[in-house]
Structure 1
Amino acid sequence: MAVEFRVDRGGGVPAYVQLGNQVREALRLGWLRPGDRLPTVRDVVSSSGVNPNTVLKAYRQLELEGLIEARQGSGTFVKRSLGSVDPEAMARLRVRLARWTGDAREAGMEDEDIQALVGDVLAESTVDRTR
């Protein structure tokens, strides 16, 4: 699955940070793997409407983190992955989470409500693991 960058201009998060976070998310979810080619700067600019320097800044940051590498004349490629969950397990969990999200919406929850609940459960489980 190719990364399709989205930039929220209304939020307080700089565009280059949003782009970097989307690459990291794709790495964690297994949508991007080592050796995969990232979209060109030109492609990201045309699809998201950001300035080329913004894309370059995001890619530079990811390169400094050792996640991607630019190859002269060839493009920008994923160097290493994030996350260690088996892709099949991730797919099964995604299906269950999608079903749960549908149930939450049927119960009247909005995206912000769902995010708050998931954040609370994550925080609670982190505390439980440290005990």
Structure 2
Amino acid sequence: MFELDLRSRKPLYEQLVEKFKEFIFSGIMEPDEKLPSVRTLSQQLTINPNTIQKAYRELEMQGYIYSVKGKGSFVNHTVEQVDTARLQEIRSELKKLLAEALYMGMSPSEMREIIQEIEAEGSEHHD
């Protein structure tokens, strides 16, 4: 289900958060679908349960999942609403990065190539 890069500089919990978001956005995980228990996922990935718990807390804080005491964690219905706010943040960050890239000498055509590469990678995952 998951492949985490143990050599990455990015913390494992952040990698988990990104993976779950990817599954939610792509429709692999649907609203009200139960996430694996902390214990189960910890055993499958052979990582500390605290790492899983931290990722789940982060996802819940961002509004992607909700918890039911004694039942577990589930994909939230309001992901579309969360997306709008997050998209605004991303747009703002992206503007800053693009302005910096232009200032550093990257051409608009190079930026378009990067976008096309990302689109191509995305379509490979959805096939």
Question: TM-score by structure 1 length?
Answer: 0.60
Aligned length: 87
The residue aligned with 2:116 is 121
Deviating beyond 4 angstroms after TM superposition, the runs of 4 or more aligned structure 1 residues are none
Distance in 2 (alpha carbons) for counterparts of 1:38 and 1:119: 33
1:36 aligns with 2:33: yes
The one-letter code sitting in structure 2 at the alignment partner of 1:31 is I
Provide the secondary structure at the position in 1 that maps to 2:66. Answer: strand
Q: State the shift of 1:119 in Å.
A: 2.9
Provide the secondary structure at the position in 2 that maps to 1:73. Answer: coil
Q: Which aligned pairs between 1:49-88 and structure 2 lie closer than 5 A?
A: 49-80=46-77, 81=79
Structure ranking higher on relative contact order (CA contacts 8 Å, 6+ apart): 1
The one-letter code sitting in structure 2 at the alignment partner of 1:25 is E
Q: Which aligned pairs between 1:98-109 and structure 2 lie closer than 5 A?
A: none
Where does the alignment leave 5 or more consecutive residues of structure 1 unmatched?
A: 84-116, 124-131
Provide the secondary structure at the position in 2 that maps to 1:6. Answer: coil
1:15 aligns with 2:3: no
Between the aligned residues of both structures, percent identity stands at: 33
Distance in 1 (alpha carbons) for counterparts of 2:22 and 2:32: 16
Where does the alignment leave 5 or more consecutive residues of structure 2 unmatched?
A: 84-111, 119-127
Q: State the shift of 1:13 in Å.
A: 1.0
